Structure 1
Amino acid sequence: MAETTEKQPTGYDAARTALLFVDPYNDFLAEGGKLWPMVADVATAVGLHDNLRAITAAIRAAGIPIFIVPHHRAEPDDFAGWDHPTPYQLGAARFQVFAKGSWGGEWHPDFAPQPGDIIVKEHWGGSGFANTDLDMLLKQKRISHVILIGLIANTCIETTARFAVELGYHVTLVRDATAAASREVMHAAHDINAPTFAHAVLSTVELLAALPSA
């Protein structure tokens, strides 16, 4: 299946493309964040922060809209009375990941929303589309192509990307603008799973070359 994934698209139409930046929180991206130790080795190895900066700068210069796709910010007793929260949700609640009102639940200062960016309603699970307004907002902007960056490769990025494909979007993943708990997981996300659904799996350099000029 790997050979069916488009490796180098000819370009992206700024009028029909959006960047989905998933979970740019301090807890994921900052030293001292609750989840930073989990992804730090891979993030450092791929140059995550520099790649995120390069991509967001190029996207803004090209006039492509940025959609911030945030996870639910934890509050005590979030899942009290729920019939079947997932183990993933319960673990996040236990550690109060991205806790509402906390430093960890604030945007990383390098990737905070800028004027004109669109902040999507918070998602409760892995998908930025499920139970949010993301699909509606993209359709109102006449977006057909989405590029995903952020955290984590095998959870929210992959789940959001799969959901996007099912809704009819052209999906691009950027293999070094995300991270995960291990290199093995990154390999599985990009080289085993992604070719079964994504239209393109690019490096940051490849993506930048395919973006329209400012």
Structure 2
Amino acid sequence: MDQGIWAIWYDISVNDKADYLDWFHQVHIPEKLSRPGYGWAAHYELGHGGRGRGYLALFGGATTHTFLNPSPGQLALRQSAETKKFIAMRQHAAACILAEEVRVDGPDAARRGPGPTTAPVVQIGNYNAPTPAIEDDLGGWYAQQRLPLLMKLPGCVGARKMLASVGLYKHAILHEFTSLALREQHFAPHEAERDDPQTWMGRVVPQLDHAPYSPAVGCRIWPAV
């Protein structure tokens, strides 16, 4: 079971893009997947909605401790010269290690893959709730309205509500879709409710403090779709 995710957001300059992506896909991801507990990896190009731009790398593990033994800080001390060279190409990088709070499957759950790899399209949010009362309202909204909606939404593979073991922002939500077109057709109209204060979403979501790269919509570039 993959109940831990290491998420890394960053950008790459146009001049470095080709070399970096070749290294990341051909060298770095296979090296990470050879470590104990790592179950899958996915790489997304962002910029298809929301504020996030650049890239999102996701690594799935048995638990958050998969990514804490050794921790990212410890791994950085052991990096080869080649790894340091390519990691230095990242711009505006941010990361968090997330523990799964709850997961639901959508109608297209069978189209997740290969294996447990996240879907061809994701929307990810990373944010804080400023008070316990807002967290209470947020949790109720997810449990009673948003996640039940996603369980029957056409084109939805699933969703995971997560909490950060490491990271500046406590909460995260990962939505998975089979395609951008189906996301736009079936999910985007519900997202518009955030602008209506008469809805539950419109009451709670505007009070959240999102990370600069959140929310973000991405299309998977590795493994190839």
Query: Taking structure 2 as the reference length, what is the TM-score of the superposition?
Result: 0.27
Query: Taking structure 1 as the reference length, what is the TM-score of the superposition?
Result: 0.28
Higher RCO (Cα < 8 Å, 6 or more apart): 1
Structure with the higher strand share, 1 or 2: 2
Larger radius of gyration: 2
